[in-house]
């Protein structure tokens, strides 16, 4: 997903495709909403992501064959309260029968287990608790024509240090049920934590791990108070929120949806979006590098500490489709070839606690204060 997003970003910047053509590629993403996923859950997610990537690559190839058009001038929307991502609340009302399932997974003998959670239709909520086992509570809606409430809707596997929780699949042509997962895990440090969804909310809080990966195709992705050496968040169509995340590297990628990041204790932060606004703030004193890039929306960065040595650099801004607003607290501002460099009063190349910011968009307002 990330590589295809970067491909679109580069082609827009290079003027090889127009804004309208890029948006047509993004529109194709919505066609995955009603796709039926069959087989193993992990494979289904990989297949859905690959299908999306193939659509993007195929579309770019067709565009390159027929156009070399430069980026068009288009109207800009500056309302940062608008969430361009779908981020809908999913209700699967076509299934009238309901049941609840509970599973207990023993992990007290696993010192630092790896955890994989995978769902197709329905939310995933992961939180910690004081017990020494994992509890999975599944709220299921289903079609009695194909299954009854005795069906094993949720599968769990423990293999060595690997713990996998996934929604089961059915032999019928259509998945005859949907599952919301509420998962409680012991308070311990995990190895790799990987939480993936195809269609529904993903909400993870208070988890500690070596590496944390959150991925969603269609729905909100919210990560709060997570501690990890590396945190990677990826979304195709839906809002992404990272709040009070403690990590060395925080990497956020989105194709279509709003990105918000606040109060994160991260040394390096990289935020990339194709179609949707980016809003961030309360940048920690430990953050040394911050890179924010968007294609088709504005960027807003709030509450910078101008007592700190700060250097901001923009990419080459489009003359008619990008507007730059910088705080008056920047002591020095220099503009050249539609690029801007701004520094705080205390900035120097030798400063130990300096913050380097790179910020760029093709179409939208950049506001830094």
Domain boundaries, the chain: 2-66, 86-229, 239-369
- pTM of the predicted structure, to 2 decimals: 0.77
127: pLDDT strictly greater than 60: yes
CA 30/CA 28 separation, integer angstroms: 5
DSSP 56-102: HHHHHHHHHHH--PPPPP------TT---S-------TT--EEEEEE
Is the distance from CB of 241 to CB of 263 less than 8 angstroms? no
pLDDT at residue number 102: 95
Rg of the chain over Cα atoms, rounded to whole angstroms, equals 22
Least confident of 34-48, 110-124, 285-299: 34-48
61: pLDDT strictly greater than 50: no
90: pLDDT strictly greater than 50: no
More reliable by pLDDT, 197 or 45: 197
pLDDT at residue number 21: 61
pLDDT at residue number 8: 63
State the pLDDT confidence band at 4, using cuts at 50, 70 and 90: low
Provide φ and ψ at 346, rounded to 5°. Answer: -90, 5
Least confident of 169-183, 196-210, 332-346: 169-183
pLDDT at residue number 2: 44
68: pLDDT strictly greater than 70: no
Least confident of 25-39, 201-215, 278-292, 326-340: 25-39
pLDDT at residue number 175: 78
State the pLDDT confidence band at 17, using cuts at 50, 70 and 90: low
State the pLDDT confidence band at 96, using cuts at 50, 70 and 90: confident
pLDDT at residue number 170: 77
**Which distant-in-sequence residues (6+ apart) come within 8 Å of 160 by Cβ?**
none
**Burial class of residue 319 (count of CB atoms within 10 Å of its CB; 0-12, 13-18, 19+):** exposed
**Which distant-in-sequence residues (6+ apart) come within 8 Å of 153 by Cβ?**
99, 101, 138, 140, 142, 147, 167, 168, 177, 179
pLDDT at residue number 317: 85
118: pLDDT strictly greater than 90: yes
Q: Copy the structure tokens of residue 342.
A: 């701004």
């Amino acid at each position: 997903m990330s590589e295809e997003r970067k491909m679109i970003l580069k082609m827009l910047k290079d003027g090889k495709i127009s804004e309208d053509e890029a948006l047509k590629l993004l529109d194709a993403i919505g066609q995955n909403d009603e796709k039926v996923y069959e087989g193993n859950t992990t494979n289904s997610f990989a297949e859905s992501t690959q299908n999306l990537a193939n659509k993007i690559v195929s579309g770019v190839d067709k565009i390159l064959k027929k156009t070399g058009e430069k980026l068009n001038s288009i109207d800009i929307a500056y309302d940062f309260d608008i969430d361009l991502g779908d981020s809908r609340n999913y209700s699967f009302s076509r299934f009238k029968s309901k049941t609840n399932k509970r599973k207990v997974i023993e992990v007290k003998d696993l010192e630092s287990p790896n955890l994989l959670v995978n769902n197709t239709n329905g939310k995933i909520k992961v939180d910690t608790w004081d017990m020494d086992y994992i509890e999975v509570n599944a709220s299921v809606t289903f079609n009695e024509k194909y299954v009854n409430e005795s069906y094993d809707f949720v599968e769990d596997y423990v293999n060595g240090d690997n713990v996998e929780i996934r929604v089961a699949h059915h032999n019928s042509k259509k998945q005859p049920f949907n599952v919301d997962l509420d998962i409680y895990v012991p308070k311990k440090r995990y190895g790799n934590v990987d939480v993936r969804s195809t269609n529904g909310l993903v909400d993870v809080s208070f988890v500690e791990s070596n590496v944390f990966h959150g991925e969603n195709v269609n729905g909100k992705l919210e990560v709060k108070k997570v501690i990890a050496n590396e945190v990677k968040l990826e979304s195709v169509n839906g809002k992404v929120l990272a709040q009070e995340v403690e990590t060395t590297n925080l990497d956020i990628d989105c194709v279509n949806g709003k990105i918000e990041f606040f109060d994160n204790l991260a040394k390096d932060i990289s935020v990339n979006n194709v179609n949707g606004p980016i809003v961030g703030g309360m940048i920690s004193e430990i953050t040394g590098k911050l890179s924010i890039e968007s294609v088709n929306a504005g960027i807003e960065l709030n509450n910078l500490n101008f007592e700190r040595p700060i250097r901001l650099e923009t990419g080459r801004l489009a003359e008619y489709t990008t507007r730059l607003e910088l705080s008056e607290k920047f002591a020095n501002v220099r503009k050249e070839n539609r690029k801007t460099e701004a520094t705080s009063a205390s900035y120097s190349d030798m400063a130990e606690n300096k913050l380097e910011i790179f910020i760029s968009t093709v179409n939208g307002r950049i506001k830094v204060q």
